[in-house]
Structures are given as structure tokens and as C-alpha cells.
Amino acid sequence: MTQATIVDSHCHLDFPDFDGERDDLIARALDAGVTRMVTICTKLRLEPQVRAIAETYAPVFYAAGTHPMSAADESLATFEELVTLAEHPKFVGIGETGLDYHYTVESADIQQQSLRVHIAAARETKLPLIIHARAADDDMARILREEFDNGAYTCVMHCFSSGAELAKAALDMGFYLSMSGIAAFPKSQELRDIFATAPIDRVLVETDSPYLAPPPFRGKRNEPAYTAHTAKVGAEVFGLSYEDFAKQTTANFDRLFWKAVQ
């Protein structure tokens, strides 16, 4: 596969799946042309460990927030906490946050409260909001729009696998859609069709590793090096060469994650 450089805009390098092999993991990513990675903290009490990974490896940046599935069990992130974390030079995004009604619909109210706090922090810091959305399209579109009308902010719909209406709502606000291994699954043609309607300058790629490995690694542990396999499918969706797709999505990443410079 070509060695055009690309970015993994969302992974979880602090997860125990990678314990004992992060040096090798980063080396494999670089060998695959993945020159930068954003590792995501999903529980603020774990932020020091995630920050340490970003501080250890030059190609790694980080973001932090309270994942919606943890919103009912973790102390809610405060506006002040998030704004303070954003002062770190390698802290490049707010989240992930969002709504998950598939697994945790019973905590919908607290998820929505948490989401609005993260949006306020993204607006204040000018850092991109990182959104997780599952089975909550209507509420997600409504809250994002209500908050956007209160003051603009930037945002990426991470691991986008929702419906066409939420995609349109996000794109209409100037947000980005991120393509994960799900978009490379054989049965994901409907999702690929949604991506094909997006402006090419509003698309990112990611692994969400250790989850959602793209073919030919589906069902196995995912890792940043595999970004290239999802990007290969993305290039086909947009009718581009791999090199051109990698160059475009990297430029998109640089525009949105403006602090993630090397």
C-alpha cells in the first residue's frame, strides 16, 4: 500500500488492549504512513494517563471529555475543568461527548446536560467538539443546532454511522464527518452513500481503535496503522487516488484540529 501520509483522528491508546506494546504500536503506525494520532480520554479521572501518552510520543495528541455512556457514572466534567485542560499544548479537542441511546438511554437527561457543557467549552476554547452519536439522531441534531445558534463552534461527528438527516444537519453547520472502519464493512453501502454526499473538504478518517477494525482485520483488535485501510475505501467512495484522499483528509484534519501541529 502507498506510503502517502495520513492522520488517525480518533483512537484510544490508553486502553489496556495496548499495554506493553505502545512503542511498537506507534512504530507500526508510522511505517503505515500514519504520522499523527489523536488519543481520546473518555473519563476525566483518567486524563493524566492519556496526557502522559501524548507527552511521551511526538506523533500523539490528545482530547478529553466524558463519554455519554459514562455520564451517569462519572463526575460530570465542568466547563472550567475542560477549559483548563485545553491549555496543554498537546490537548487538541473537547470530548468525546454526545448521546448514546442504544446502550444508555436511561441516562438521556444527564447525557444532554453533559453535552451542553462540552459544547460551551468547545465554543470558549475554539477547539473542535468530538461527538459520539448512537440511536439519538433527533436529539443530537436539535441540541447541536440550538447550541450553534447560541454561538458558533467547530465539531466532528466521530465514527459517523448515523442517518442521512443527522449528516445533513451537521454538514449544514460546517461540521465534519469522520469515517471509521464501519464505512469499510461490505454491508455499509448506505453509510458510504451518505459520505459520498459530503463535501470532500469536510471528511476525516479514524480507527476508533481498539474497536472497529476495517477489512481485512475485521473482528480483530484495531490499531492506528489500519487507518490506511479505511482511507483506501474512502478514496474509492470519492473517486480519488489514495494519495489524493490522504492529502485531502490530512488538510481537513489540520484545519479542524489546528493545535495538532508537529
Residue spans of the domains in the chain: they are: 6-256
Sheet holding 34-41, edge to edge: 6-11, 34-41, 60-64, 91-100, 129-134, 155-157, 176-179, 203-205
Residues of the chain predicted below pLDDT 70: 1-2, 262
Q: Which of 61, 53, 63, 62 is nearest to 23 (CA)?
A: 53
The pLDDT assigned to 262 comes to 63
Phi-psi region of 261 (alpha: psi -120 to 50; beta: other; left: phi over 0): beta
The pLDDT assigned to 100 comes to 98
The pLDDT assigned to 1 comes to 45
The pLDDT assigned to 3 comes to 74
Query: Cα separations (Å) of 60 from 14, 52, 229?
Result: 12, 10, 20
CATH code given to domain 6-256? 3.20.20.140
Rounded distance between C-alpha atoms, residue 177 and residue 199, angstroms: 10
The pLDDT assigned to 2 comes to 45
Rounded distance between C-alpha atoms, residue 183 and residue 214, angstroms: 8
Give the predicted TM-score (pTM) of the model: 0.96
Query: Cα separations (Å) of 43 from 50, 54, 68?
Result: 10, 16, 10
Rounded distance between C-alpha atoms, residue 100 and residue 172, angstroms: 22
The strand ranges marked E within 33-106 are: 34-41, 60-64, 91-100
